[in-house]
Amino acid sequence: MKVARSLLLLAVAALLLLFASPASIAGDAPGWMHSVANGPLPPHDEKTDAILLYAEQITIVQSDSKMKHIERKVYKILRPGGRDEGIAVAWFDSNLKITGMRGWCIPTQGKDYEVKDKDAVEVSLAGVQFSELVTDTKDKLLRIPAAEPGNVVGYEIESEQRPYILQDWWLFQHSAPVREARYTLQLPAGWEYKAVWVNHSEIRPSPVGNNQWQWVVNDVAGIRPEERMPPANGLAGQMLVSLLPPGGSNKQGFENWAQLAKWEMNLVQGRRDPSPELKQKTLELTSNAPSTLAKMQALAQFAQHDIRYVAIELGIGGWQPHAAKDVFVHRYGDCKDKVTLMSAMLKEIGIESYYILINAERGGVNPQTPPMPYWFNHAILAIRLPGSLNVPSLLAVYQHPSLGRMLIFDPTNEMIPLGLLPGYLQDNFGLLATEEGGELIKLPQLPPSSNGVHREGKFTLSPSGTLTGAVEEVLLGDRAAEQRFALQAITKDADRIKPIETILSRSLGTFQITKASIGNLQYHERQFEFIYSFTADRYAKSAGDLLLVRLRILGNKSDDLLEKKEPRKFPVEFDGPVLDEDSFEITLPPGYEVDELPPPADAEFSFASYHSKTEIKGNVLLYRRSYQIKELSVPVEKLDQLKMFYRVIANDERNTAVLKPTSH
C-alpha cells in the first residue's frame, strides 16, 4: 500500500543533507512569496516552531490520463525546531513526474537566496523497508539555505501525473498554524467535480476563470502532536475532490465504499488463481493436519513465516497485489501479497476468504470519511469460518449479517497467531471487499484477558532489607508479540535476558539476576514466559528500628501523561485492550511483624480499572493487583477521570508496609 508520509521523512532528510550545502545564489524570491512574507501572523503560542504563511495547491486536469499540479508553500521560521520546514520534499514514481522544483529564503537582513532543481537530491523513501531496491519510486529533496529563526522560506514544486483514479486531495491543516491556504481546480470543458469536506465545515468556492474554481481557508490552527493522540490524518481539515468527465470514465472517483471495494476486486481479478506448484504445497502443508483448524493454522504459519515481507510497490502496485503463484515462487511480498497467497491456499481447502483494506492507525478511517484508496495503508484477511468450527481460541471473529462468522487475521504480523488480532487493528474500521462490492466494517475488539502480563513472585526479606526471590511471568497477545519481535534476531543467551534486566531496572535501584530463562519463544500459539530469580540489596528502607517495604515490587502502571500545564486537546488512545495482573508474596524477616498496611486501591471507570489489595497471612505479606484497559479511546471530556486513574495507581505503587521488631 502507499505508505503515508510522516515526520520521520523530515528527520531522515535533515540527516541526509546535513553536510550537503546547495549552491545557493542571489535571486529574488517571487512576488507571491514576498507579498505574504511580512503579513500578520495567525494565532499561535510561544512554543510554535514555524508558521505556514501561505499554501497554494493548483490542479490542472487536461484529460482522464493527464493532470498537472503546482504546490507552493511559504514558512516563517520562529524557533530552531522549525528548521525542518526548509526542506522541500516531493514524492514521485513512474506515473508522477517532478517537472520543476525551486526554493527561496527571504532573510531578515541581506539579499534573498535561491536554490533550483539542479540542487535537489533524490533518495529512497524514508521509513519504507527495502525502498533502496526500488528505482522509480523515490523522494526528491531540496534544502533551502538559511532556514533560521526570523527568516522566511518557501518553495514551488511542479509535477505531471497519469492518474489511476480521478480524485484529488487537499490537505490544508498541518502541524504548523496556517495563515492562508488556497486550492485551485481547473477542469476541461464539460467536466464537473464533487467536493467532500473532512474535519472542517464546507466552504463554497469562487469561480476564477472558465471552468476554474478556488477555495480559500484562513487562520487554521496547527495540530500540535500529543502523546497517544489519534492519527493526525484523522483529525486534519482536508477536502476530497472527485473529478467527473462527461460520459464517465473507468478512472472516475467513488461515490461510496461499495464502489471502492469493487474497484479493488477488479484489481485482484485472477490474482488468486493457483499454480500446480501452489496446489501441491497446500496439500503438503495440510494433508496430515487432523482438523480444519489445524489446516488453517498450517497455512497461516506458512504465510507469516515462510514469505518474507518485502514491499516493492511500483505504479499500480501500491494497490494491486502480485499473483499468488509469483509470491509463492519468489517467497516474498507485501501485506496484500501475503493476503492474496493465503486466500488462494485457503480456497484449495474449501474455505472462502476476503480482502480487508485498513489503516494501521486506528482513527485514520471512519464511516464519515469519504471513500478514497489513499486512506488505507495495510491489507488483512477475513476468513469465512465453517459453521462447525466454533473454537474458543478464535477470538477475532466478526459476525457478518449475510456471510456469517468471519475470522479476521493479519498474515503480515508474524508474531500474532491465527485467532488473535493486533491491538492497533482492533475496534478499527476496514473496507471488506467481496465479489458483490463491499462495505466499511468495524473490526472486533478482543477481551482484555487476551493480552497482558500475569506475574507471580515469591520473595524472602532479610532483616537487613535484602529481597530475594523468583518470578514467573506469562505474556499473552501483543505483550508476548512485542517480546518475541525484540528477541527474534538475538542468538546469544546472554543477550536474551536483557528484557528481564530492563523489567528489573525500571523498578529496582540495584539487583543481581541469579537465574533467568525464556519459554516458548518460537511457539507463537503458546504463552510466552519469563522465569527468573534475583537479589536486591537494601530493598526495604530502614527508619529507626522499622522497615519500610514497597509492596509493588515490579512493574510500572502509573503515567504522567496528563500532568502537563497545557490543556489536552485530543483524546488519549490505547494500543489495545489489556489485563495485567501481579501477585507478590513476601516472607517477613525473622524478628519482625507488620505494624501497618496500606489501604486497598480501587479505581473503576468505563475505560479502565485498577484494583490492589494487601493482606497478611501468618508471616507472609500478600499483594495483588490488576490493571485493565476496557475502552481504546478516552475522549477529552473524560480526561480528568483518566488523570485520577493514573494518580490512584501512582499512589498505590509508592505505598509501603511498615514492619516493626517483634514484641517479646
Domain presence at residue 1: no
CATH number of the domain where residue 158 is located: 2.60.40.3140
**In-domain check, residue 253:** no
Q: With respect to residue 578, please indicate whether it lies within any of the assigned structural domains.
A: yes
pLDDT of residue 30: 94
The tens digit of pLDDT for each residue in 232-268 reads 989 999 999 999 999 877 777 788 999 999 999 999 9
Regarding whether 441 and 367 lie in a shared domain, the answer is yes
Question: Is the same domain home to 400 and 494?
Answer: no
What is the domain-level CATH number for residue 320?
3.10.620.30
pLDDT tens track for 608-621: 999 999 999 999 99
Query: Within a domain: residue 358?
Result: yes
Give the position of cell 489485563: 579
Q: Is residue 138 pLDDT above 80, yes or no?
A: no
Same domain, 536 and 601: yes
Residue range 430-455: mean pLDDT, rounded: 95
Q: Is residue 141 part of a domain?
A: yes
pLDDT band at 604 (very low <50, low <70, confident <90, very high): very high
pLDDT beyond 60 at 107:
yes
**pLDDT score, position 329:** 95
Residue 416 has pLDDT above 90, yes or no: yes
Kindly state the DSSP code that residue 199 receives in the 8-state scheme: S
Q: Range of 92's domain?
A: 7-244
| Section 370-385 average pLDDT | 93
Do 581 and 477 belong together in one domain?
yes
Which residue, 394, 417, 446, sits at the end of a domain? Answer: 446
On the question of pLDDT at 118 being above 90, the answer is: yes
- The 10s digit of each residue's pLDDT in 83-105 is 999 999 998 877 889 999 999 99
Q: Which residue, of 181, 216, 244, is where some domain finishes? A: 244
The answer to whether the Cα torsion of 443, 627, 646, 504 is positive or negative is negative
13 and 52, same domain (yes or no) = yes
- What pLDDT score does 250 carry? 74
Which 3 state secondary structure label does DSSP give 302? helix
Of 26, 6, 10, 29, nearest to 18 (Cα)?
A: 10
Are 555 and 438 found together in one domain? no
- What is the band of 22 on the pLDDT scale with cuts at 50, 70, 90? low
Give me 434's grid cell: 467481496
Q: Say if residue 594 is in the same domain as residue 653.
A: yes
pLDDT of residue 6: 41
pLDDT of residue 214: 98
Asked if residue 186 has pLDDT above 80, the reply is yes
pLDDT score, position 261: 94
Kindly tell me if the per-residue pLDDT of 332 is higher than 50. Answer: yes
**Within a domain: 251:** no
Pairwise CA distance, residues 627 & 605, whole Å: 12
Q: Is 112 within the bounds of a domain?
A: yes
Residue 550 CA, chain-centre distance (Å), reads: 36
Average pLDDT over residues 7-18: 42
> d(Cα 529, Cα 106) in Å, to the nearest integer?
60
- Between β-strands 50-63 and 178-186, what pairing exists: parallel, antiparallel or unpaired? parallel
Q: Which of 386, 416, 446 corresponds to the end of one domain? A: 446
Query: Is residue 250 situated within a structural domain?
Result: no
Q: Considering only residues 490 and 476, tell me which one the structure prediction assigns the higher pLDDT.
A: 476
Residue 114 has pLDDT above 50, yes or no: yes
Does residue 664 surpass a pLDDT of 80? no
Q: Determine the straight-line distance between the first and last CA of the chain, rounded to whole angstroms.
A: 75
Per-residue DSSP letter, 43: S
Which range has the top average pLDDT, 119-123, 305-309, 338-342?
338-342
**How many CB atoms lie under 10 A from the CB of residue 312?**
18
Q: For all residues of the chain together, what is the average pLDDT? A: 91
Specify the pLDDT at position 247.
84
| Predicted model pTM | 0.88
Residues 576 and 495 in one domain: yes
Q: How many domains are contained in the chain? A: 3
**Whole-Å CA distances, 25 to 30, 102, 104, 119, 140:** 14, 12, 10, 11, 20
Q: Are both 116 and 142 inside the same structural domain?
A: yes
C-alpha cell at 178: 496556517
480 pLDDT above the threshold of 70: yes
**CATH number of the domain that 482 lies in?**
2.60.120.1130
Give the mean pLDDT of 371-375.
Answer: 88
- List pLDDT tens digits, range 564-599: 888 999 999 999 999 999 999 999 999 999 999 999
The verdict on 427 and 481 lying in the same domain is: no
**CA nearest to 480, candidates 573, 380, 413:** 413
* Same-domain status, 439 and 453: no
167 phi and psi angles, rounded to 5 deg: -140, 150
The count of other CB atoms within 10 Å of the CB of residue 14 is: 15
pLDDT value, residue 249 = 76
Is the model's pLDDT at 446 over the cut of 80?
yes
Supply the pLDDT for residue 7. 39
Kindly tell me if the per-residue pLDDT of 402 is higher than 70.
Answer: yes
- For the stretch 26-59, pLDDT in tens is 578 999 999 999 889 999 999 999 999 999 999 9
112 shares a domain with 85: yes
Residue 131, pLDDT score:
43
Show the CA angle centred on residue 187, arms to residues 184 and 189, nearest 5°: 145
Residue 77 reports pLDDT greater than 70: yes
For residue 492, what pLDDT is reported? 82
What pLDDT does residue 180 have?
97
